Chain A
Amino acid sequence: MAYSDKVVDHYENPRNVGALDKDSADVGTGLVGAPACGDVMKLQIKVSPEGIIEDAKFKTFGCGSAIASSSLVTEWVKGKTLDEAAAIKNTDIAQELALPPVKIHCSVLAEDAIKAAIKDYKAKSGIDDGKAAE
């Protein structure tokens, strides 16, 4: 299978690989996927008191498209409000990376990872706006 240039670029030069302190109050962590399915993404966001995502880090077990999808969303969420970040759609990710149909699930997982990280952050900081992830 041939990968798009953007997938190759993110795979070879992944943005924002790493970890944030998951116990810190301003950090939300999302862990989605399953080893048995061949992909697991961990996405972490650091949120400012103003509700802006200041930093994002990821670690991913998966194919090139899964790594690229998670790398891309760390770039996209930075500087966004939680609501803006939650509005990122898997179709945007798939389109940006030119993912083939069999790899669409990678973009779905990346979207889930954003939502899971936001949900974790909100749960930690006691925010309940009723429209958190899911």
Chain B
Amino acid sequence: MNVVANNTIGRAPGQPIYLDYQATTPCDPRVVEKMIPYFTEKFGNPHSRTHRYGWEAEEAVEVAREQVAAIIGADPKEIIFTSGATESNNLALKGVAHFYKDKKDHVVTVVTEHKCVLDSCRHLEQEGFKITYLPVKPDGLVDLAELDAAITERTAIVSVMGVNNEIGVIQPLAEIGAICRKKGAFFHTDCAQAVGKIPLDVNAMNIDLMSISAHKIYGPKGIGALYVRRRPRVRLVPLINGGGQERGMRSGTLATPLCVGFGEACAIAKAEMAAEAERLRRLQTRLLGGLQQRLAEIYVNGDMDSRIPGNLNISFAFVEGEGLMMGIKDLAVSSGSACTSASLEPSYVLRALGLDAEMAHTSIRFGMGRFTTDEDIDYAIDHVTKAVEHLRSMSPLWDMHQEGVDLKSIQWAEH
């Protein structure tokens, strides 16, 4: 089969170098290869029980379910396939809240969660549930004592993400799980950015529900999973009703090729995680070290130790993020700058760390992954350095800083 060669993934001629692996990842060619037959000759409905086409598809789906379960230490029966982590997060939060609403009406989450968690919580709030949005410390991590104190006997579910999508920090899942178990609240974790990046074990970590996404781990877009613990049993009200597939929690015909790709992506990630993490750590050190060597006044956002190796979020003081991205158009990165969104508000995640709005405006997220090379990083260091130097040479703030003016002492006209 002729899939794209590894050495052009994320750096095809004329295309910018891809450094946005937290946004999405390319499908691993090995994943695509496994998927192909399930579009054509093995096209059966995995829920068809009366013929070979159905059995063949069902078998493939069940293998995939085992592969997904294995990477988080779960039982395959506890894996519910969904359309992705957004659906999984919606199902976990709304599903659990609705099921237990007679006895419990409280949800605990964190301000730096993904929008789909926060927005699901807003919806529950409108229905009358009480939501506690915990702050984070300046390093981006949740304060365990505050979390403990926030959980009451009315708390149905606590939702804390494994790894933050913007700053890559890893929350202390095992400690949070222990607190939730002790307090009798279910623990849900959005692990879209964590699975395949850090070792996870739902039993050791006392995780009751976990959201997983395929396209963040070199699998296809359009599929994810929700892990739902069986013992002690977690129950939920489904969002989608129908034929009762997926233990009745998510009706609808499973997308066999996507399940197969997702499963294969998990199997590869599980086998290669340790080596890949080590390689990415080297690239992360190379990128940060290279930039720090050549540029003054750059700051890493989020804790450096409790962080996945594939992420670096850096503020380049006195240079606005979107302006900088325009200057590094040979790199595909993203920014916490307001200008990248229609709202003109800088990243709520960076603001939650206590970062000044002006520093949030100067941030760039570098996401490295499976196909990132040393050469990519060296090119990025050079390209970013030149652009930052150029933009600082035309930045009035840089001049003022050089003259020793404290920017905070100036009465700016906020507009």
Q: Which residues of A contact B (CB under 8 A)?
A: 1, 3, 8, 11, 14, 17, 19, 31-42, 58-64, 66-67, 102, 105, 108-109
Contacts of A62 in B (CB 8 A): 320, 323, 339
The one of A33, A60, A67 that contacts B415, using a Cβ cutoff of 8 Å: A33
B394 in contact (CB, < 8 A): yes
Number of A-B contacts (CB under 8 A): 93
B318 and A61 within 8 A (CB)? yes
Knowing A35-B407, A61-B318, A62-B323, say if A17 contacts B394 (CB, 8 Å).
yes
Chain B interfacial positions (CB closer than 8 Å to A): 318-323, 326-327, 337-340, 342, 344, 346, 356-358, 361, 393-399, 407, 412-415
Once the chains bind, are B323 and A66 in contact (CB under 8 Å)?
yes
Contact across chains for A63 and B337 when beta carbons are under 8 A apart: yes
The listed residue with most A CB atoms (<10 A of its CB), out of B319, B320, B337, B358, is B320
CB-defined contacts of B323 to chain A, threshold 8 Å: 11, 61-64, 66-67
30 A-B residue pairs with Cβ-Cβ distance under 8 Å, sorted by A, are A1-B340, A11-B323, A17-B393, A17-B394, A33-B413, A34-B412, A34-B415, A35-B361, A35-B397, A35-B407, A36-B357, A36-B361, A38-B320, A38-B322, A38-B344, A38-B346, A39-B320, A40-B412, A59-B395, A60-B396, A61-B319, A61-B396, A61-B397, A62-B320, A62-B323, A62-B339, A63-B326, A64-B322, A66-B320, A102-B342
Which of B318, B342, B393, B396 is within 8 Å of A42, CB to CB? B396
Contacts of A42 in B (CB 8 A): 396
Is B412 a contact partner of A33 (Cβ separation < 8 A)?
yes
Candidate in B340, B397, B398 with the most chain A CB atoms within 10 angstroms? B397
A49 CA to B395 CA, complexed, in Å: 30
Q: B339's contact among A35, A63, A108, by CB below 8 Å, is which?
A: A63
Known: A32-B413, A34-B412, A64-B323. A40 touches B337 (CB 8 A): no
| Distance A80 CA – B363 CA, assembled complex (angstroms) | 39
